[in-house]
Each structure stands twice: as C-alpha cells, then as structure tokens.
Amino acid sequence: MKFRTLLTTLCSFLGLTLGAQAATLEVGSPAPDITAVDQDGKSVSFKAVYEKGPTLVYFYPKADTPGCTKQACSLRDDWSEIKAKGIQVLGVSGDKPDSQKAFQDKYKLPFTLVADHDSKVADAFGVPHLGGFSKRQSFLIKDSKVVWVMPAASTATHSKDVLAAYEKLGK
C-alpha cells in the first residue's frame, strides 16, 4: 500500500512539474532576451548574439552521450557551410560549464555551449525538461524573432535539417 501511495505521489509531482512549464515558442515569437554562462563560465547575452545575425539555438539532453554527440558533430562537420550562411550556433543543455567544456574539447566543437544547469534558458524557450535534461529541440532566430522550430530535433542529420530550413526562409 505504501508503495502505491509513493508511486501515485511521484507521478502527480512529475505531472505538475511538466505541466507547469511554458509552451514552446512558436514561429513569430520574440526570441528570449536571456543571459547564461558558456563552457568557459563567461556570460552569454542571447540578445547580443541575435544582433550579430541568424542564430541556431539547439537544446540537447546531456553532453557526451551518443545522440547528443551525433547532433553536435553533425553541426561541427558542416561548420564551413553553416558559417558561410552566417548562422551562429548556441548549444544548450543542463550540464555545468566544466562538462560543456570537456564535451567541446573532446569533439572539437567550434560553437558556444551554454550551461543551463538551472533550466532558465529552457524555461525561456518553453523547452520541456526534467531533472536537468532538456528535450531535444531547435530554434532558428532571425532579427530577434523565432523563424523556425524543430520540435523533435534530429541527431545525425541535424545540420542538414537546419541548413534546409534556413534556405527555405530566403534572405
């Protein structure tokens, strides 16, 4: 009987936690003006990044896990094409800066990784998360507005999906 009560309480808590999160940003929404820290512990103003040009903000559950590594490496492998389009990249997960730095160094990732250990960035974008693990989602930001959302971001083909979406937007 106690196990059943515990299980019911846990399920209720998890449901309330997930239900309390904001809805995912939609195309046309203003991009969140938020500040967080990167893999080096330096402050990153998302607004300042957006002002420099189109920006991919992608969320992944955990650094240096198989799917997240495929996703990051797909962006790394197509980096010259992504940069040629002027797209900046911010990878966001619930990892702390030292884990993000180790992930970046191990796979030679040429873009910024944001340490969202307090889930403030995920909350600002309306990305579901639980226990520090964000759902895999991607957003393209242009002129400080969300112009594309991938609600279930791919892993191995992530860069191709982003580049195709960017091409459809036109200049």
Taking only the tens place, the pLDDT of each residue in 16-61 is 344 445 688 999 999 999 999 999 999 999 999 999 999 999 999 9
Amino acid at 140: L
Active site residues per annotation: 68
pLDDT digits (tens, 9 = 90+) for 98-157: 999 999 999 999 999 999 999 999 999 999 999 889 999 999 999 999 999 998 877 889
Domain with residues 2-169, CATH architecture? 3-Layer(aba) Sandwich (3.40)
What are the backbone dihedrals phi and psi of residue 94, each rounded to the nearest 5 degrees, phi first? Answer: -80, 5
Query: Which pLDDT value is given to residue 6?
Result: 39
Q: Which pTM value belongs to this model? A: 0.86
* Sheet of strand 88-93, all strands in order from the earlier edge strand to the far edge: 43-45, 35-38, 112-115, 88-93, 55-59, 137-142, 145-150
